[in-house]
Amino acid sequence: QLVESGGGSVQPGGSLSLSCAASGFSFSNYWMNWVRQAPGKGLVWVSLININGGITAYADSVKGRFTISRDNTKNTVYLQMNALRAEDTAVYYCARPRDGGYYLDFWGQGILVTVSS
């Protein structure tokens, strides 16, 4: 399973760090993604990281503000979010792609991040 944590409320300009703990599969063999969904809105891909952290990618909307990382010894992927804006308010999902695939076949339950003054 994938279990997100670290969400909550933060003021604009603030920072928050999300964690996603994986279990039940060989975490170190899988790339990992973050996807978000603003309240009542659609899915937006945020970021991905490869198996050893050597490759990362970001949506333009978060580039330079968010950083994805992972610790394979802890089976955990992280999303450090800085300079948060109201439009970053969303449920953040961590998601695993099918091994070697270009689609997400395993999702966490999501965690809510609210950016508001």
Partner 1 sequence: QSALTQPRSVSGSPGQSATISCTGTSNDVGGYNYVSWYQQHPGKVPQVIIYDVTKRPSGVPDRFSGSKSGNTASLTISGLQAEDEADYYCSSYAGSYIFIFGGGTKVTVL
Q: Is 104 in the site for partner 1 (CB under 8 A)?
A: yes
Sequence letter at residue 70: R
Which two tokens mark 51? 């198996």
- The binder of partner 1 chosen from 93, 111, 113, 115 (CB under 8 A): 93
Q: Given the rule CB under 8 A, which of 9-17, 55-63, 66-74, 81-89 is the region that contacts partner 1?
A: 55-63
Q: Rounded to an integer, what distance in angstroms lies between the CA atom of residue 17 and that of residue 24? A: 23
Q: Is 64 in the site for partner 1 (CB under 8 A)?
A: no
- The binder of partner 1 chosen from 7, 89, 110, 115 (CB under 8 A): 110
DSSP 56-100: EEE-TTTTTTEEEEEETTTTEEEEEE-S--GGG-EEEEEEEE-TT
- The binder of partner 1 chosen from 74, 86, 105, 116 (CB under 8 A): 105
78: closest CA among 87, 70, 89, 86? 70
Residues that bind partner 1 (CB under 8 A): 33, 35, 41-45, 48, 55-57, 59-61, 93, 98, 101-105, 107-110
